[in-house]
Structure 1
Amino acid sequence: MTGFRYRDVNAAPRAAFLYPRLAIGLLLSLGLAACEPTPMPGPVAQPPVAKGPPRSIGDVQGPAARSPYEGQTVTVQGVVTGNFVSGLEGFFMQDASGAEDGDRATSDGLFVSWKRDAQPKVRRGERLSVTGRVVELGARAPTLTALVDARIEVLGRAAVQATTLSRAPARAADWEALEGMWLRLPGPLVISGNANLSRFGELHMAFGERLRAPTDIASPGAKAQAVEDENRRRGLIIDDARGSEYPNRLWFLDPPLSNENPLRAGSLVYGVEGVLDARHGSWRLQLTEKLGRIEQAPRPAMPVLPKGLRLVSYNLGNLFNGNGRGGGFPTERGASSRQEYQRQRDKHVAVLAALQPDIAALSEVENEPLDERSALGDLVAALNRALGEAGDYRAVVGDSPGGPIQVALIYRAGRVGVEGEAVTLTTGPFAHGSRPPLAQGFIDFPSGRQLTVVANHFKSKGSCPESGNGEAGDLDAADGQGCWNAKRVASARALDLWMKSDPTGIDTPHRVLLGDFNAYTREDPLRLLRSLGWRDALPIRGEDLRHHSFVFNGQAGSLDHALVSPSLAGAITAALVWQINSDEAEVFDYNLERRPADLYRAEPFATSDHDPLVMVLDLERAAQ
C-alpha cells in the first residue's frame, strides 16, 4: 500500500463526512411504496412560516453554487422523483413542467430533508407543497441546496420528465444546473474506479475515457489542475442511495458480482438512471433503477515475455503473519486472522508463481528478522512448495530500524547469485518517513554480468504533517502532488548519491531502481531522477504512457516504477504492468469481514492495491 489507505480502508468512515451513516434496511425503490410497518407518529414540530409568495424550485436553486435564499424560509411545489427517506433521510422533488422559472441555467430539482418516521409519508409521483428553510448541505463544494425543518402538504399526483444526458456537461461548473434533477444516461460510461463498491455501493464513472491521475500525465501545478478540471467535468459517482456501509447486496447489479462478472474498472455501462446529488464533496447520481447493460472488462492473462533476466516490482499490501506460530492476530496491519493471512499469502504465491521473477523487489513486508517463522520466510517457503523442483527462491532483507514495514528482495538461486552483502541506507530522509532502500549485488549466470538491484518504498502522500512541522514542502501545496513531496524529493536525491557511491562495492555501472515511489510519473521525485540520468523502463520500450499500477479516487496512475542506469537502457527487452489488482473490486481480496458472499480464489487477482511491474533485461546488450 502507499499510505493512501490501509487494509480495508479506502476512505474515511462515512460518519466523518457530512451525513451520518445509519445502519438501516434496504432502499425503497422509487417505483414502490414504502413497505415497512407504519411507525407511531412522533411529536409535531411547529411549521415554518414562509415569507413572500411561493417560489419556483429554479428560483430557490438560483444560477450560482449557493442558493440566493440561503437561510430564508420558502414554499415550493414539485413532484417527488427520488424517495430516499430510508437511505438518505430525505427526498428529491422537481418542478412538474420543468424550467418554471424560464432559466435553463438553474436546476429544477431540490432535496428535502425528511426523517424516516416523519408524517406524511412521501411517494414517488406525488405532487407536494413544501415549506422549509433553505440551507446548503456540505462542508466542501459542491454543496447540496436543501429544505430543512419542512412542512409538507400532499396535493395529488403528477408526471415529471427525466433529462437525458448523453455526454458530459461543457464545463465542470455546469453540473450545478442539474443538481437534484432526475437524469437518464444512455451511455456508454466507463467504470473508472470501484474501490468503494462493496463498502459504500459506489462506482466512479466517466464519460469517454477513464480518468487519469493528473500528475501522472501532466506537470504539477497549472497543467495538472487543467487535467483535474477535466476529470471533474467528465467524472460522476453513481451511488446506491443508501447510508449504510457494507450492504448485504448491491441491489443495482444484475447479475451480482462474481468472478465471472467482476465489474473491473474499464468496464462499460449502458443505461443509468437516478437523481443528481451533491454529497461528500462530489457529484453523484443516486440510483433509482438497476444498471442496464454492462460490458465486462476482461481480467488480463499472464503476459508473454521474452527470454532474459526477469525483474519484478511488487507491493504486497502489508504482509503480516502474526507471531509466526499461528497466533498474534490481529496484527498492526494486514490480515486480522490466521485464515486471512493464509488466503493473502496464497494469492501472492499465485502471482509470483505465474511471473517467476529472477529478482523481485517487494514492499510492505512485515519488518522483522528473516527466518522460517517470518512473513517473508513463510511466503518464500510457500512459493517454493508451489513450484516444486523449480522452487529455488531465497530472500534478502537489510537493516530497517523502526516502522512496521520494510522492503525486501527475493531471487532464484539457480538463475542469479548474490555478490557481496545486502546494504541499506538509513540516514537522511530514510531515517524516518521513506523506508530504507535495500541494495544487493547480483551476477546473472547466463551472461556473467553483474548488476545492483535496489528495492524502494518512498514516503506516502497521506497522513499530512501539521502546519509548522517538517519541511515547508511537506505540506500539501495544492499542485497535485499531495503531502510529503519534499521528503520524497530528498529521498530521490539521497538515493542517487548513494548509488553513485557504489554501496554494494561490486564496481558495476549496471543498476536498477525498483519499487513503490509513491510519486506519479510527472511528479518532482521522478523528474529529478530522470534529470540525474536514470532511465524510465516503460517509455524506453515504447509502452503507452497511460499504463497504470494504482487507482485512487477513481483516477488511474503509476506509483510503481522501474528506473535503470544509462548502461542498461539498451538491454531492456520488455517492460509492462500486469493489471491484476488496481482495477479489481476489494470484494475479491483475502478479507473475510463484511462480505455478502465469499468470492475469494487463490488466483492472481485482487491480491494487493498495486499492480506488479515487470521488466526483462538482456544483459548481453548492456553497454560496457
Structure 2
Amino acid sequence: MLDPGDRRPSIRRHPSEFRMRPRALSSILTALPFALAPLFAAACAPGDIPSELTPIGTIQGTGPTSPLEGSEVQVEGIVSAHFPALGGFFMESAVGEDDGDPDTSEGLFIVWEPPTDTALATGQRVRVQGTVTERGETPPTLTALDPVEAVELLGSPNPEALLPATITDAPTGPITWDRLEGMLVRIEAPLTVTGHSGLQRFGEIITSFDGRLFQPTELFRPGPDADSLRAHNDRMKLVLDDGSNEQWPEAISYLPDWPEHDAPLRVGSVLEPMTGVIDVRRAGHLLLPIETIAVREPAARPDPPSVDGQLRIGVINVENLFNGDGEGGGFPTTRGAQTFALYERQQAKLVATLQALDVHIAALAEVENDGVGPRTAIAQFAQALNDAGPARDWAPIELEGPGGDAIRVGLLYRTGAVTPVGPAVFPTDSIFEWGSRPPLAQGFLPNGEGAGSGATGTGAEGSTAEPWVIVANHLKSKAGCPDDGHPRAGPGDADQSDGQACWNAHRVVAAEALADWIDSDPTGVGAERALIVGDLNSYAHEDPITVLRERGWTDVFAESDDGPPYSYVFQGESGRLDHVLIRASQRAHRVGAAIWHSNADEFTGFGYEYDPQPTVWRSSDHDVLVVGLDP
C-alpha cells in the first residue's frame, strides 16, 4: 500500500522553491516552430506611450488577482513567447529588472495581435500600454493587458535577456503557480505522462512530477488518507497544453507528430526536460512548451499475460459494442459505432484482443442489449472470433436481457473447453431495473470434469468436481450526477466530495443486492464457488467493494508484486473500476491473475474511430483482466 507521505519528494520554494540560474535561450528559441519564428507587432512611434512605468510584479501582486485590475498601465519587458491561437504574447521582466519579491510573478500576457508588416521576435524588448484584466470566469485567472492601446519596440531582440525559472526537483509542498504565472520556466525535474485523454481534443497531456498517480480511493478508504493523497496528486500534476483554444487540432505544436504505434507515448513514459510558459486557462495552470518535447524513457507495450489455471476467465468492457440491425444497416447506433465500417473495425480490435488471450470464458460489459439470436451483437462477436481462429468454438450464453437499458453484460465461452452447468439467470431485484445493469450468472465446468454436488452438467462419471459460477456485472457509472429532484436519486447519490463521485449510494445498494442474490444460489449449482467479475464502477477501497469484502468476498488482485494494480486511467490518475472477486473460502483455487495494460495507457487515437489497424491497442478504454482457477 502506498503512503503519500512516503512518496513526496523535496521542494524548493521560489526563488529557493525553484532553482534559478542564468541560461542562454538562443539555442532553444531558434528551433521553435511556433514561438521562435519571428513574431509580428505594430510599433508605435516613440513617445506615444507615457514614460511612467509600472513593474510587472506590481501588476501581478501577491494575491490570486491583480491589485490593479481595471487600471491602465504602461509596462516594459521582454517578449518570451507568442501564441497566435491565444491572440497575444507573453512578456516578462528582463534579467536584473524584477522586483526581487519571490511572491510576485514577473510575467504578463498581452492580448494583442500585430499587423503582418511588423516583426516582433522572441527576446524583443517592448513597452506596452493597456488595461489590467483577469482572463477566466473562475479562479485561477490569468492576469493580462486587454485592451492594449499601444506597443513600442525597443532595441534589437536579445533572447539572453530572458532567464527562465528552473525547476530541478519535484515539489514536497503546495506549489503556488501564481508566482510563475506568465513566466518562462525550465522543467528539469522528471515529468511522467500520467494521462492524455485530452490530447486529441484539447492538445493536452497530464504529466506528473511523481510518476504514475493513483486514484485516492483505489489505495485508501474515503477519508483523511485519501484526501491527503488527492492533495498530493494535485500538486504533482502539470498539464502540458498546445497554446490554443481550438478543439480537435490537426497537429500539436509541441509534439513532433501524433503518437504512432512504434512511438505510442503511453502513460508511464518519462519526458526529457522542457521549457515553456505558465498559462492559466480552464480554471487551471498549464505549461505551454515552446519547444518540441522528447521522450527520455518510453513506457513499453506489454506482451499478453500468461495465466495458469484449468479454468481461465477474461473480463473486458467492450466499450459499447453495437452492431446496428445485425445485417449491415441500422447505423449510426445510439451508443456505439457510427457506421458499419467503424463497427467492423471495433469488432476486429476486440477479436484480436481475445485471440491474444488463452481464456475459456469471456465476461463482457457494454455489449448491446438487443435480445437473442444470430443477429445480436454478442452472437456476431462470437462468430467473428470463430471466423478469425485459431479457436473456433466460441458461443454466447443466450438469455434475453431484462430492462430497457441500451447495454447489458454478457458471457462467451469455448465449447471445446467448458460446459455450461445449470441455467443462466438474471436477478429480478428492482435495483437492477435502472442504472446498474442486471448481472448474469452461469455455472461452468471444465470439460472432462464431472458434475459434483448440485451440478446438472455432464462430465466424467464419478468425478466430484464442482462447477464455478461466473457472475458478470456492470454497476452504475460515476458520471451524470443527479440534479435535485431526480426521480431515481436517493440520499447519497449526489457527489459527496469524498472521491467516490456520483451514484455511490446506488452502487452500494446494488452491491448488497448482488451479494444476497449470489447467496441464494440462483443457478442451483452451488453458491460457494463463484466469481464476481466486471465493471463495478468503483475503485478498490470505495463503499461498494467494501460492502462485498464485508460479505466474505476477496480481491484476487489485492496481492501484486508490481505495485498497485489498475485497469483504467481517468483525469491522469490510475485505478480499477474492473474487478474479480472470489469468496475467501475459495481463495486457494486462484492460481493466476493478470491485467493486460493494452488499453488504459494507450493514446485514444489508436481506438477504432481513428485507427483502421486491427491491433489490440486501445480496443477499449478499459484494460482486460484475466484470472485462472484450479478445481
Give the TM-score, by structure 1 length. 0.87
Q: How far apart, in 2, do the equivalents of 1:304 and 1:148 lie?
A: 60
Aligned to 1:5: none
Aligned to 2:406: 404
Cα deviation per residue 1:304-360 (whole Å; 9 max; x = unaligned)? Answer: 222321012100011011111111111111211111111100000011111132122
Cα deviation per residue 1:215-236 (whole Å; 9 max; x = unaligned)? Answer: 1112213322211211121110
Aligned to 2:470: 453
Cα deviation per residue 1:502-527 (whole Å; 9 max; x = unaligned)? Answer: 11122341111000111111111111
SS of 1:184's equivalent in the other structure is: strand
Q: How far apart, in 2, do the equivalents of 1:614 and 1:445 lie?
A: 19
Tell me whether 1:572 sits opposite 2:590 in the alignment.
yes
Question: In structure 1, which of residues 538, 542, 561 is the aligned counterpart of residue 579 of structure 2?
Answer: 561
Q: How far 1:130 sits from its partner (Å)?
A: 2.4
More displaced, 555-564 or 280-289? 280-289
Aligned to 1:467: 484
SS of 1:474's equivalent in the other structure is: coil
Aligned to 1:182: 184
SS of 2:389's equivalent in the other structure is: helix
Tell me whether 1:604 sits opposite 2:616 in the alignment.
yes
Q: How far apart, in 1, do the equivalents of 2:623 and 2:165 lie?
A: 39
Question: In structure 1, which of residues 481, 486, 510 is the aligned counterpart of residue 529 of structure 2?
Answer: 510
Change in CA separation of 1:489 and 1:615 when aligned onto 2, cut-off 3 Å: same
Q: How far apart, in 2, do the equivalents of 1:527 and 1:140 lie?
A: 36
Query: Do 2:518 and 2:527's aligned partners in 1 also have CA atoms closer than 8 Å?
Result: no
Larger radius of gyration, structure 1 or 2? 2
Alignment of 1:66-81 (within 5 A): 66-81=65-80
Change in CA separation of 1:218 and 1:507 when aligned onto 2, cut-off 3 Å: closer
More displaced, 581-590 or 241-250? 241-250
Q: How far 1:106 sits from its partner (Å)?
A: 1.4
Question: In structure 2, which of residues 489, 496, 519 is the aligned counterpart of residue 477 of structure 1?
Answer: 496
Q: How far 1:170 sits from its partner (Å)?
A: 3.8
Q: How far apart, in 2, do the equivalents of 1:214 and 1:488 lie?
A: 18
Aligned to 1:522: 541
Change in CA separation of 1:459 and 1:90 when aligned onto 2, cut-off 3 Å: same
Q: Any unmatched runs of 5+ in structure 2?
A: 1-31, 450-464
Aligned to 2:293: 291
Alignment of 1:28-177 (within 5 A): 29-34=34-39, 54-84=53-83, 86-97=84-95, 100-115=98-113, 122-156=120-154, 157-158=157-158, 159-177=161-179
Aligned to 1:8: none
Cα deviation per residue 1:27-63 (whole Å; 9 max; x = unaligned)? Answer: 961111259xx9xx9xx9xxx999x953211122222
- In structure 1, give the amino acid aligned to 2:367: V
Change in CA separation of 1:98 and 1:291 when aligned onto 2, cut-off 3 Å: farther
Q: How far apart, in 2, do the equivalents of 1:57 and 1:429 lie?
A: 59
Q: How many residues align?
A: 575
Q: Any unmatched runs of 5+ in structure 1?
A: 1-26, 593-598, 620-624
Aligned to 1:17: none
Alignment of 1:134-533 (within 5 A): 134-156=132-154, 157-158=157-158, 159-254=161-256, 256-388=258-390, 390-447=392-449, 448-469=465-486, 470-533=489-552
Q: How far 1:390 sits from its partner (Å)?
A: 4.3
Q: How far 1:281 sits from its partner (Å)?
A: 2.4
Q: How far apart, in 2, do the equivalents of 1:299 and 1:389 lie?
A: 25
Query: Do 2:206 and 2:240's aligned partners in 1 also have CA atoms closer than 8 Å?
Result: yes
- In structure 2, give the amino acid aligned to 1:460: S
Aligned to 2:13: none
Q: How far apart, in 2, do the equivalents of 1:564 and 1:245 lie?
A: 44
Q: How far apart, in 2, do the equivalents of 1:271 and 1:501 lie?
A: 58
Q: How far apart, in 2, do the equivalents of 1:561 and 1:340 lie?
A: 29
Query: Do 2:385 and 2:391's aligned partners in 1 also have CA atoms closer than 8 Å?
Result: no
Q: How far apart, in 1, do the equivalents of 2:171 and 2:149 lie?
A: 34
Q: How far apart, in 1, do the equivalents of 2:500 and 2:286 lie?
A: 25
Query: Do 1:28 and 1:83's aligned partners in 2 also have CA atoms closer than 8 Å?
Result: no
Question: In structure 2, which of residues 557, 580, 583 is the aligned counterpart of residue 538 of structure 1?
Answer: 557
Q: How far apart, in 2, do the equivalents of 1:464 and 1:399 lie?
A: 26
More displaced, 608-617 or 186-195? 186-195
SS of 1:377's equivalent in the other structure is: helix
- In structure 1, give the amino acid aligned to 2:325: N
Q: How far apart, in 1, do the equivalents of 2:404 and 2:118 lie?
A: 60
Q: How far apart, in 1, do the equivalents of 2:587 and 2:311 lie?
A: 14
Change in CA separation of 1:315 and 1:397 when aligned onto 2, cut-off 3 Å: farther
- C-alpha RMSD of the superposition: 2.4
SS of 1:551's equivalent in the other structure is: strand
SS of 1:473's equivalent in the other structure is: coil
Q: How far 1:250 sits from its partner (Å)?
A: 2.9
SS of 2:81's equivalent in the other structure is: strand
Query: Do 2:568 and 2:577's aligned partners in 1 also have CA atoms closer than 8 Å?
Result: yes
Identity over aligned pairs, percent: 39
Change in CA separation of 1:133 and 1:170 when aligned onto 2, cut-off 3 Å: farther
Change in CA separation of 1:242 and 1:315 when aligned onto 2, cut-off 3 Å: same
Question: In structure 1, which of residues 550, 564, 577 is the aligned counterpart of residue 568 of structure 2?
Answer: 550
- In structure 2, give the amino acid aligned to 1:558: R
Q: How far apart, in 1, do the equivalents of 2:139 and 2:581 lie?
A: 39
Q: How far 1:81 sits from its partner (Å)?
A: 0.7
Change in CA separation of 1:472 and 1:148 when aligned onto 2, cut-off 3 Å: farther
Q: How far apart, in 2, do the equivalents of 1:98 and 1:536 lie?
A: 59
Query: Do 1:580 and 1:604's aligned partners in 2 also have CA atoms closer than 8 Å?
Result: yes
- In structure 1, give the amino acid aligned to 2:584: P
